[in-house]
Amino acid sequence: MGDAVRQPPPRTTVAVVIPVRYGSSRFPGKPLARLGDKPLVQHVYERVRAARGVSRIVVATDDVRIRDCVMGFGGEAILTGSDLRTGSDRVAAAAREVPADAYVNLQGDEIPLAPGLLEDLIHPFTRSDAEVGTLKRAITEERELLDPNVVKVITDRNGDALYFSRSPIPYLRDRNAGRGSLVPSLHWKHVGLYIYTKAALARFADMPSGTLEVTEQLEQLRLLEAGVRIRVWETKQASLRVDTPADLERAEQILTGGKPAWRNLSL
């Protein structure tokens, strides 16, 4: 008989952990800011509930006000330390109290516009042998390619990340930087949510911050610098990212039926 086909490990339980801090230099108290008739953190939580494949949803926070808010609308929340380095470190701290086969890190200021965003991450991961996964979406506007707040990603032929950067990658040497430098089939935006096996998440939290992570201020580079592969799947789904009070106002227009210009949203 030939060698048996290797099967991916069973991953039947997936916990979505939403790391949330009260403090923010640009928007203090952002998780509790009202978006319509609900706080921002509740909008994120309730949209996760609509996604298939989610076994448990937990908010991991460093502030009792956020914990009490989440428990007040019927959600689950865990208090974590205030000195954790990144959102994924906060997810790792919560995972010690939340048994699961895999953990999704969905930031508390990232509102999925459709459940398909989470499903595009969870479904392929649970059928793969990847230890860490994330998403990418095609860049369609020049301004996104040049914006350092829009993180770019390039992958190898297997779909594993080669690098994440705030700079335009790949750089097109034979074109002038700036106008005319966008090629949608080459340029991809990183969609900032992650899924980890329990073991990979624990390893991430135990790793020292790497030079690349500190330089670009991108937590996922800690893994790449340590030689850990990150599988990247494509999605066409979008999310609303709220970084400032102005973002909150625009998100409210979207969620309540208004029609602001999409180019002005932090998508």
Domain boundaries of the chain, sorted by first residue? 14-257
CA–CA dist 35, 45 (Å, integer): 13
Torsion of CA 260, 261, 263, 266, to 10 degrees: 0
pLDDT higher than threshold 80 for residue 25: no
> Do the strands 132-138 and 231-234 form a parallel or antiparallel pair, or are they unpaired?
parallel
Ranges 90-99, 140-149, 225-234, 255-264: which has the least confidence:
255-264
CATH fold label, 14-257: Spore Coat Polysaccharide Biosynthesis Protein SpsA; Chain A (3.90.550)
Count Cα atoms within 13 angstroms, Cβ side, for 217.
5
When pLDDT is cut at 50, 70 and 90, the band that residue 24 belongs to is confident
**Which residue, among 163, 33, 195, has the nearest Cα to 111 in the 3D structure?**
33
Handedness of CA 42, 264, 247, 249 (dihedral sign): negative
**Which residue, among 232, 234, 230, 231, has the nearest Cα to 137 in the 3D structure?**
234
Per residue in 176-191, pLDDT (tens digit) is: 555 567 888 899 999 9
Instruction: Judge whether 69 and 103 are in contact, CB under 8 Å.
Output: no
pLDDT higher than threshold 90 for residue 27: no
Q: What is the pLDDT of residue 180?
A: 61
When pLDDT is cut at 50, 70 and 90, the band that residue 258 belongs to is low
35-46 b/e (C-beta count within 10 Å ≥ 16 → b): beeebbbbbbbe
CA–CA dist 219, 11 (Å, integer): 24
Q: What is the pLDDT of residue 246?
A: 87
Please state, for a pLDDT cut of 90, what percent of the chain lies above it. 70
CA–CA dist 150, 40 (Å, integer): 22
Q: What is the pLDDT of residue 126?
A: 93
**Checking phi first, is residue 90 left (phi over 0); if not, alpha (psi -120 to 50) or beta?**
alpha
Q: Degrees (nearest 5) of the Cα angle 196, 200, 202?
A: 110
Residue with tokens 């956020």: 66
Per residue in 122-156, pLDDT (tens digit) is: 999 999 999 999 999 999 999 999 999 899 999 99
Q: How many other CB atoms are found less than 10 A from the CB of residue 210?
A: 15
- In three-state secondary structure terms, 215 is helix
Ranges 21-30, 41-50, 74-83, 172-181: which has the least confidence:
172-181
